[in-house]
Amino acid sequence: MATVIAEMSMSLDGFVADPCDRVGPLFDWYGNGDVEVPTAFPERWTFRTSKASARYLTESMDKISALVAGRRLFDVGGWGENGQPWGVPVFVVTHSVPEGWPRDDAPLPFTFVTDGVDSAVQKAKATAGDGWVGVAGPNIAQQCLNAGLLDEIRINLVPVLFGEGIRYFGSLSNAMLALEGPSVIEGTGVTHLCYRVKKG
């Protein structure tokens, strides 16, 4: 059975982007080392991290077999035109299918799911088999947490304070959610924290 994992790079005060949707130094750790981590589209992305971050990132690259993302990441992040580093099928949660999609010339398979995040996760799990389903973007991660769909939360904690911006956990409906862990991996300019979500 697939494991559903949400992962984001986050500032120490809980933001994944500034008010203008810029990530600033949050992604610097992807290129601040000497160890190369290849991606599905090396002409667009090749990561060079510390040795510890490379091991952490390689596990993600190897195990993620499907992704669930929101329409905003599809549009603003350019995934529709450029693909994404993992090179796996993407299930896009949206109210309506974008004009001109689906496309035969798309870099990756995109499935547009108009009946909610639960449906998107179930479709992604069926595709992933025993692999991982990656949940991309703060809004979709929050929806998955609210619906009890996440198995694990991975935070790439960057030593910076934003003060304001887009929060990773900004719209949670649960009064309290218990986590197990974390396991901790110290990279260069980032600390990788992995928490299991307690069920029930």
CB-based contact 56:68 (threshold 8 Å)? no
Q: To the nearest 10°, report the CA torsion of 16, 18, 22, 26.
A: -40
Quick count: other Cβ atoms within 10 Å of Cβ 200? 4
CA gap 160, 158 in Å, rounded: 6
Q: Considering its fold, how many domains does the chain have in total? A: 1
Looking at the predicted structure, is the pLDDT value of residue 155 above 70? yes
* Residue bearing tokens 């309290």: 176
pLDDT value of position 191: 98
Tell me how many helices (H) and strands (E) the chain has.
Answer: 5, 12
The CATH number of the domain holding residue 121 is 3.40.430.10
CB-based contact 168:177 (threshold 8 Å)? no
Looking at the predicted structure, is the pLDDT value of residue 200 above 80? no
* DSSP state letter for 19: T
* Cis bond before residue 109 (omega within 30° of 0): no
Domain that holds residue 171: 3-197
**pLDDT grade for 83, boundaries at 50, 70 and 90:** confident
- 83 — alpha (psi -120 to 50), left (phi > 0) or beta? left
pLDDT in tens, 85-109: 899 999 999 999 988 888 877 777 8
Average pLDDT over residues 38-50: 91
φ/ψ of 127, rounded to 5, equals -75, -40
